[in-house]
Amino acid sequence: MARGRTVRVALALVSGMVLAGCIASGPGPGARPQPPAQPVPVAVPTAKSAAAAAYYAQVQQMLLAQGMLRTDGGGDIPVSDRMLAENFLRIALFDEYRPGSGGFVRAETESILRRWEGPVRIGIRFGASVPPDRQATDRARIASFAARLSQITGRPISVDDRAPNFFIYIVSEDEREALGPTVRAALPSLGPGEVAGITGMPRTTYCLVYALAEGNSGTYTRAFAVIRAEHPDLLRLSCLHEELTQGLGLPNDSPRARPSIFNDDEEFALLTDQDELLLRLLYSPELRPGMSAAEARPIVFSLARRLTGGGS
């Protein structure tokens, strides 16, 4: 089972629509009392959504019973400089998916180094199925993790609904299936197959992110992530960690990467110590967007020796 899926696409972008809100001040002296605010209606789960919630609750329970979905940083697992460098080259310089006639298909192919050069502004969008208290929890977790990623990478990364360029949609089964017009409006150059990759996401894919760069520049300018609203707490948080991190420029998975969330064995749920090192490598000023694996390799090995103290 694949927890996450990252697709990197090079295309022309258009700006997204931004929703603005306003806060009204309280009534002045002598004003007529106003009726209490009515609660925001929450959509009743459909049979399809309820079935998905039951399925993913069983998945989480099964993984936890097997000792998977660890939430520690994996500090008990040694990582040498060579292991770190090889894992980085496989995860950052190879794509997990490639375009096919009917959308993206799973096929590992060598790529170029891609990352964000400007600020990452995260816009969070919830479906009506997500209750307000759950929304508040998700929003707080995303903001906290964004601050952590910013500290690791040295890039401005924050939740900012005013002009987002990294969208996160947390939606139910039915809401995701109806997301086609939203996806096409945000990413108009995607073909029907790519849009169907979101609206028809199989249940073995827990979440996904599309990360986009213009041409062959290697510089990301927009990302679009989808998280299933039916996920129980830990799977949900795991998806947030993986898709936010992969959307920064670590799109591939490797069975050799341990401890890491970039491994489909589900051993680790949250960002590990090695994953932090992978991000530091990715955003090192000694590397640049657009580099090939051959160009990056000697620099990556040198950086890895410095980050680990050189223990091969």
Q: Where are the domains of the chain?
A: 6-10+63-308
Q: How far apart are CA 176 and CA 201, in angstroms?
A: 9
| Top-confidence range, 20-29, 99-108, 258-267 | 258-267
Percentage, residues of the chain above pLDDT 90: 72
Q: Which phi and psi angles does 108 have, rounded to 5°? A: -70, 125
Q: Kindly report, residue by residue over 254-287, the tens digit of the pLDDT.
A: 999 999 999 989 999 999 999 999 999 999 999 9
Q: Is 14 exposed, middle or buried (0-12, 13-18, 19+ CB in 10 A)?
A: exposed
State whether CATH 3.40.390.10 applies to domain 6-10+63-308: yes
Q: Which residue did the predictor score with more confidence, 46 or 34?
A: 46
**C-beta atoms surrounding 136 within 10 Å:** 10
284-305: pLDDT as tens digits: 999 999 999 999 999 999 999 9
185 and 206 in contact (C-beta within 8 Å)? Answer: no
User: Mean per-residue pLDDT for 157-166?
Assistant: 94
Task: Give residue 67's pLDDT band: very low, low, confident or very high (50, 70, 90).
Answer: very high
pLDDT of 15 > 60? The answer is no
Expressed in angstroms, the distance from the first to the final Cα of the chain is 32
Residue 306, both tokens: 């410095």
Return mean pLDDT, the chain: 86
Give the three-state DSSP class for 239: helix
300: Cα within 13 Å, side-chain hemisphere: 26
